[in-house]
Structure 1
Amino acid sequence: MSKPYKILVVDDEPDLEPLILQRMRRHIRSNEYEFVFAPNGVEALNMLNADQTIDMVLSDINMPKMDGLTLLQQLPGVDPNLRAVIISAYGDMDNIRTAMNRGAFDFVTKPIDFDDLKITIGRTLDHLSEWREALSSRDQLVALQNELSIASQLQQSILPKNSPVTEDYEVAANMEPARNIGGDFYDFFPMDDEIAVVVADVSDKGIPASMFMMSSRTALKGAAIGLRQPEKALAEVNNQLHQDNPTFMFVTMVYALYNPTTGSFTYSIAGHDPPLLVSADGNVSEMASTDGVALGIASDIRFSQNTVTLSPGDTVVLFTDGVTEAMDEHREQFGMERLYEVFEARPPASALAANEAVFEAVRGFAGDAPQSDDITCLTLRHT
């Protein structure tokens, strides 16, 4: 049987230990995870120095003797390959942003949603596994292509793996990079009674774009948890990216909050193509633009937002310009008109069907022509 991942939980609440052991018992019994516990940062550091087999740290921020933010600063000196996830009070954006800047891979909020915690732990350990594979393979790499392949796996590991299909809504998404490493990304995650969705496109390709993409993703998740309005979240992300941007890169983005109960879809756009709305009868229209500029170009930019109410059977299609600017052998672009034709009079039966229809149409149009840009599409269907 393979060795379980060992996770150190650092929290001064005595009730958390039995709760985690009870809620994670299936993972413990199946030898996936092993949990050890420390009540503060000082004892956590002692355990980390004494036990080199700990893979991940799940730490609260507010603790006696040494808080979680101070602990984060100490972790690279113990093991630079440790992955840390922070537990924070809901809406504590300042501490979340500080934690991310100090190397936290992700965060969860109190009160802990154990379904979300399991997903976060799984994604963190997937990333750690890919990173370890990259390190073990590093000395054997003889070509840049191999290095790019490992980096591509790292990038893919942060994208959501399971697309939700519920009685109220469906989400499907896919990203096909033009190179081993792309500059596009998508994400979706729960926000209380709403679902956050995002599609973004970094200005470059390759490793620099991948690094900037990861910074953009981290900044958005931190902003989203504290600033519920999409227009304010984008303004916060923009300021964070602009503060430390020596390469002058930028990212276009659509960020939205969707309420499955009411059908409300509130979105803000930063220099990106507006989403399409495909109604249940096959009518296709472009959502109104909010006229925001790309993120990272200048500080203190104001953004605006729009809200549409989805009816049962409506599908929202978010995409990057790799879809509309895909070229065939004669360098003709796919264009918006062909994207409309994918759905006109043929409303999709599901979010997955809508997503696959977009990629099938683009591939069929491009033929054997080389892919010139990353292709990303996220579809959300209000059922």
Structure 2
Amino acid sequence: AYGDMENIRSAMNQGAFDFTTKPINLEDLERTIEKAAEQIAFIKQAQKEHTQLESIQNDLHVAQEIQQTILPKTFPPFPELQSFDLYAYMNAAKYVGGDFYDFFRIGHDRLGFVIADVSGKGVPAAIFMAISRTVIRAIALTENSASMCMQRSNNILCQESVNDMFVTVFYGILNIHTGVVTYCNAGHNPPVLMKKDGSVSKVPTTDDMILGAINDAAYHEKELKLSPGDNLFLYTDGVTEAMNEKHELYSEQRLLENCRTLAGKSPKEVVEKITETVGEFVVGAVQSDDITLLSISYKG
């Protein structure tokens, strides 16, 4: 720039910092060199942070794969048993989530099933999710009572909880010969009972505390009877609190209305259809919470 202010101004407006005027002013040259050094340092730092971000993303992908392997994926899970059918699905709002479902045989005539939602999202929730699932499953396999399983699990999770994390849980035990379900609801959304005749209702709650909050809390249990053709549909609040671009919630009422149209459908059809209706409702909006669904139909 030969003293032409318009030329200098044009260069500066375009972001130039590596220019000097003629005749050379040593103070200006010093500032130019300092700015160039700052720019180089900024680029190096950006490259370093980019490499670190790629490493974190790779770690999250691995964590996502690990979490997915934790959740049962084989359906039907017990093809040798013809008295019931089961299907479940989980979609995390981030790479990893805090929701989980689980199911397992207890002896020869019972099926334990769980759906749960850990407070928070992301990696901390995913870690506490893994701990919660392990604790609940380990106790459930040796504990005949749904309420005692929740009580013992709560006492352990209270010791493991960090930053006041907690988990809501619905745990049920299905007698595969009689259709009787003994259950305990630890602060979770009430499941939907879908009768063969098309009627739907929310499963009465046991009014129990979330797990991981208060040590030595008492838990209770109730029973319901599934008749052949009935379906028990469990979900997390990522379903009912799914929000569209107008900030409207999917809601329990909309869930019940959609469940009413699915009487007699298989668990896989129920889960896929409800997932589809949620997707159609929130179309265009960002998923804000993990979505998990589990459906059990009793055949008798």
Matched, 1:203 2:119: yes
1:148 counterpart residue number? 60
Alignment deviations for residues 110-151 of structure 1 (CA, whole Å, 9 cap, x no partner) = xxxxxxxxxxxxxxxxxxxxxxxxxxxxx9972432221111
Secondary structure of the corresponding residue to residue 255 of structure 1: strand
160, 169, 194: which one aligns with 1:253: 169
1:83 counterpart residue number? none
1:236 counterpart residue number? 152
CA distance in 2, matches of 1:162, 1:256: 20
160, 172, 194: which one aligns with 2:110: 194
CA RMSD for the aligned pairs? 1.5
CA distance in 2, matches of 1:245, 1:176: 24
Alignment deviations for residues 33-90 of structure 1 (CA, whole Å, 9 cap, x no partner) = xxxxxxxxxxxxxxxxxxxxxxxxxxxxxxxxxxxxxxxxxxxxxxxxxxxxxxxxxx
Which amino acid is 2:185 matched to? I
Matched, 1:175 2:90: yes
Alignment deviations for residues 258-314 of structure 1 (CA, whole Å, 9 cap, x no partner) = 011100111101110111100001100001000011100010000111111100100
Which amino acid is 2:192 matched to? L
Per the alignment, do residues 349 and 299 of structure 1 end up closer, same or farther by CA in structure 2, a change over 3 Å counting?
A: same
2:178 counterpart residue number? 262
CA distance in 2, matches of 1:239, 1:295: 8
Of 139-148 and 281-290, more deviation after overlay is shown by 139-148
Which amino acid is 1:150 matched to? V
Which amino acid is 1:199 matched to? I
2:280 counterpart residue number? 364
2:72 counterpart residue number? 160
CA distance in 1, matches of 2:171, 2:126: 19
CA distance in 1, matches of 2:57, 2:233: 33
Matched, 1:352 2:264: no
Do the aligned residues in 2 keep the contact of 1:253 with 1:294 (CA within 8 Å)?
Answer: yes
Which amino acid is 1:182 matched to? G
Do the aligned residues in 1 keep the contact of 2:242 with 2:278 (CA within 8 Å)?
Answer: yes
Q: How does 1:284-363 map to 2 (within 5 A)?
A: 284-363=200-279
Do the aligned residues in 2 keep the contact of 1:141 with 1:147 (CA within 8 Å)?
Answer: no
Secondary structure of the corresponding residue to residue 221 of structure 1: helix
Q: How does 1:81-160 map to 2 (within 5 A)?
A: 142-160=54-72
Residues paired across the two proteins, number: 245
Consecutive unaligned residues of structure 1, counting only runs of 5 or more, are 1-138
2:128 counterpart residue number? 212
Do the aligned residues in 2 keep the contact of 1:282 with 1:345 (CA within 8 Å)?
Answer: yes
Do the aligned residues in 2 keep the contact of 1:183 with 1:201 (CA within 8 Å)?
Answer: yes
CA distance in 2, matches of 1:345, 1:362: 15
Taking only the aligned residue pairs, the percentage that are identical comes to 41
CA distance in 2, matches of 1:246, 1:339: 33
CA distance in 1, matches of 2:261, 2:294: 20
Distance apart, 1:358 and its partner CA: 1.1
Consecutive unaligned residues of structure 2, counting only runs of 5 or more, are 1-50
Do the aligned residues in 1 keep the contact of 2:99 with 2:118 (CA within 8 Å)?
Answer: yes
CA distance in 2, matches of 1:244, 1:377: 26
CA distance in 1, matches of 2:262, 2:162: 46
Distance apart, 1:336 and its partner CA: 0.6
Distance apart, 1:346 and its partner CA: 3.7
2:22 counterpart residue number? none
Alignment deviations for residues 171-200 of structure 1 (CA, whole Å, 9 cap, x no partner) = 000000000000000001100110100000
CA distance in 1, matches of 2:159, 2:68: 27
Question: Highest Rg: 1 or 2?
Answer: 2
Matched, 1:184 2:96: no
TM-score (norm 2): 0.79
Alignment deviations for residues 137-168 of structure 1 (CA, whole Å, 9 cap, x no partner) = xx997243222111111100110011225421
Which amino acid is 2:247 matched to? R
